[in-house]
Structure 1
Amino acid sequence: MLARMPAGAKAGLVLLHGRGGSSRDILSLLDHAALPDVAALAPEAPGNSWWPTSFLAPTAQMAPFVAAGMQSVAKAVARLRDSGLPADRIWLAGFSQGACLALECFARQQDWGQGGLAGVFGFSGGLVGTADHGTASPELMGHRDKAFDYPALTGKVWISVHERDPHIPLKRARDSARALKDAGAAVQLQVFPGAGHAVMREDIAALRGALNA
């Protein structure tokens, strides 16, 4: 787990890389977003992948990988809290697989502390979900819908996706935004035109704005 822990940090950030990425890669977002005064931790997945399949895979198949990823995130959040940051000044953010894991961790709300986390940024991501639901759909690349059974939430959520993302169906991103809003979070869904799968300048601007607030 790589860390940047500046003295006197007013906010904390747990950054999660995508498939084939690394903690060093994702930590560089701090430089792009010009956030030198934010304490950040970046866990690294075994083999640089949080899970070996699409996040759309059946719940039973995803469960052990999600659980392991959530443990890594919980350790990072605990370390930020031990540094003196309250839970409501700590954010999660990730790209691709890391975005999906960050969104799922935020939605499931582990014992983060009173009031919960400040929020989450899912760059090219969507919720993993809590149970299989419905039938296979072309809109989900031949996978089934998922149920989104989460506790009441507070905090802010940013989800971004391209209209034609090769890994994140637009339907899942929209369903994720709706589920988190229904749970009580303040949600912004950013849909980029065309095809793509990347962290965009609008993503960086949103991250900078939230953590500099």
Structure 2
Amino acid sequence: MVELSYGGARPDRARGGLVLLHGRGATAEGILDLGHALGLPDLALAAPQAPGMTWWPTSFLAPSAQMEPFVERGLAAVDAAIAALVEQGLPRDRIALAGFSQGGCLALEYAARRGGLTAVFGLSAGLVGTGDAGGGPEEALYGFGQKRFDYDTRLDGVPVEITVHERDPHIPLARARESEGVFARLGAAARLTVTPGAGHGIGPEAVAALRGHLNV
């Protein structure tokens, strides 16, 4: 059973919906603050809680055999949050998905595997991938190997916003750039925003991008 937290407008009266995914060590209630910060009271907000406050126990760059069971559990949690909004009267094609850090990676992975959303935001995030590509560890991937990105979902015209710091301790810039390219191949209107310097967080430009896409 997935634990869900809600905020904003009632789904049956909302103009749109936003599912929010928290990062490692955080909570569903905490990530709802991002939704409230948008200043869009006619959005219905929903956030699933990860068991133990983490979607997976290792880096998202880890080999697929380590990641896949946790990714599947996370995807099911997103399914549950979307289904809850739909059951309360909000059409799926009016629901967007956003997440930060681990939650951002999960949001991007959900979009690439499932689709059917109005917009996707991976804040300090990159794609997990569908399998290992072989080869040895790479410095640009923080000592991990390359992944495959064998998605067959079509995301024609769907806005996909990815943000990352130039030197992010958890998200390699190389993976964020690769993720942008993957989404472009799937037909999405993909954009990567790189913040100069070191860091790992949600900047005001990310909030502005969220508001801009959702305030329509």
How far apart are the structure 2 equivalents of 1:73 and 1:133? 26
Q: How high is the TM-score relative to the length of structure 1?
A: 0.95
Once the 2 structures are TM-superposed, how far is the Cα of residue 5 of structure 1 from its aligned partner?
5.0
2:119·2:213 contact (CA, 8 Å) conserved in 1? no
Q: Deviations over 1:166-208 (max 9, x none)?
A: 0000000000010011011110110000000000101000111
Partner of 1:117: 117
Equivalent of 2:155 in 150, 153, 156: 153
Q: Deviations over 1:117-176 (max 9, x none)?
A: 112100000000001114210000000111111122231100000000000000000000
SS in 2 for 1:28: helix
Structure 1 gaps of 5+ residues are 111-115
How far apart are the structure 2 equivalents of 1:190 and 1:159? 6
Deviation larger for 130-139 or 174-183: 130-139
Partner of 2:140: 139
SS in 1 for 2:129: coil
Once the 2 structures are TM-superposed, how far is the Cα of residue 84 of structure 1 from its aligned partner?
2.1
Structure 2 gaps of 5+ residues are none
Once the 2 structures are TM-superposed, how far is the Cα of residue 31 of structure 1 from its aligned partner?
2.1
Once the 2 structures are TM-superposed, how far is the Cα of residue 35 of structure 1 from its aligned partner?
1.9
Identity rate, percent = 56
Question: What code does the residue aligned with 1:137 have?
Answer: E
Tell me the number of residue pairs that the alignment of Structure 1 and Structure 2 aligns.
Answer: 208
How far apart are the structure 1 equivalents of 2:75 and 2:126? 15
Deviation larger for 190-199 or 147-156: 147-156
Partner of 1:64: 69
Partner of 2:85: 80
Find out whether 1:172 has 2:175 as its counterpart.
yes
Question: What code does the residue aligned with 1:178 have?
Answer: G
Partner of 1:191: 194
RMSD: 1.0
Partner of 1:203: 206
Question: What code does the residue aligned with 1:160 have?
Answer: T
